[in-house]
Amino acid sequence: MDAIEAILAAFCALLLGTLAEYFIHRAMHWGIIYPEGHLWHHESNESRTYAVDVLDYGAGAAIFCWVGFVVSIPAGIGWAVGAFTYVALASYAHQLQHTRPALVFWMPRPVHGLHHAHNMTEHNFGILVDWWDRLLGTYRSVGRPRRRSRKGRGFKDYIAIPWF
């Protein structure tokens, strides 16, 4: 039972992380959170580095790491693992969508890349996933979905992001 509780808590933390990402990104565009820095991010279309994103996203995750422990120790551990798994994946997805958006194989269109490329200040707020944009009506597509070609995609391509 403890393992199931931990796995369920990890999944919930990961899912909640993607929802928080959506609303925090929206709040940045409303000028509520980090308005100057986010404006620079859009004007330059540059991401910082994976390590900086991990620190930034991880600060938010760390604030809520205690939540699972309210339920139990296994749930707390699972919640923390899920939260920091979200941090690692979202940081990677952010870097990849800025440097190599064609490699974002888990989305038909890399929404964060579209968000930047087409100056979509009211659309496509997801970074790791596009579910919330689709569910909450802020998803906008541009052009046709990409064809899924594996040609020219090796391991080196997937790790060629600014890590530090």
Query: What is the per-residue pLDDT across 83-109, written as a single tens digit (0 to 9) for each?
Result: 999 999 999 999 999 999 989 999 988
The alpha helices in the chain, defined as continuous H runs, are 2-29, 35-44, 50-63, 73-99, 111-117, 131-136, 155-159
The per-residue pLDDT string of the chain (164 residues; one tens digit each, 9 = 90 and over) reads 799 999 999 999 999 999 999 999 999 999 999 888 888 888 887 788 999 999 999 998 999 989 999 999 999 999 999 999 999 999 999 999 999 998 999 998 899 988 888 888 899 999 999 999 999 999 998 876 665 555 657 999 999 999 99
- Whole-model pTM over 0.75: yes
Residue type at position 36: E
